[in-house]
Amino acid sequence: MLPSRGAPFMSRFPERPQMQKKQIVGRAVTTAVVVLLGMHLTGCGEKKSSENSAPSSTSASSSPTTSSTPSTSTTSKPSIEPGTIPGTGRFQVGVDIQPGTYVSETDPGTMCYAARLTAKDSPDPLITNHVTKGRTVVTIQKTDAFFETRDCATWKKR
C-alpha cells in the first residue's frame, strides 16, 4: 500500500536507535587497548638502545681525505664471541653464527623472540618462531639460512 498524498513517508525498516555516548567512548577505548596490545606483542613502536640494536650501515671513512677514490659504505657486524649469539639481531648461519643448540637465560619479565629462517628471498622464510619468557632453548640446523632474535639475553652454545 502506498502512502497517501500528504501523509509522511514511512520507511519499511525501523529507525536504528542512535548510539549512546557511553557506547561510543567504550568502543573507542576498547579499540585503543587492542591496538596498543597488538603493538606491544609485535614490538612496533619500541625504541631500541644502541647495544641491542641490529647492525647498522656506517661510512668507511669518517674524516675528509684527499684521495681520488670515492668512499664506500660497509655494513659493520658486531664482533661475536665463538659459541655465543647476541640477544638482538639477524645472523646468517655458517657465516655469523654456527649451527647447534643455544640457550638464552632471559629475565622472566622480558619477552624474548627467536626465529629460524630460510633464505631471505623465499616467499615464506619462516621455519619456526616463538616468544618466551625466561630460559629458552633453540636448535639451529645447518640447513637454516638465518637466525633472528629480539630482546633476549645472549645465547650460549651448549
Alpha-carbon gap, residue 132 to 152, rounded angstroms: 9
- Stated pTM of the model: 0.52
The predicted pLDDT at position 139 comes to: 98
Is 105 strand, coil or helix? strand
pLDDT, one tens digit per residue, over 48-80 is 444 444 443 333 333 444 444 444 333 445 578
DSSP the chain: -PPPTTSPP--SSPPPPPPPHHHHHHHHHHHHHHHHHHHHHHTTTPPPPTTTSPP-EEES--S----SSPP-EEEPPPP--TTEE-SSEEEEBTTTB-SEEEEEE--TTS-EEEEEE--TTSSS-EEEEEEESSEEEEEE-TT--EEEEES-PPEEE-
The alpha carbons of the chain give a radius of gyration, in whole angstroms, of 27
Count Cβ neighbours within 10 Å for each residue of 102-125 and write b for 16 or more, e otherwise: bebebeeeeebbbbbbeeeeeeee
The predicted pLDDT at position 61 comes to: 39
Given a cut of 60, is residue 148 above it in pLDDT? Answer: yes
pLDDT, one tens digit per residue, over 83-128 is 999 999 999 999 999 999 999 999 999 999 999 999 877 888 999 9
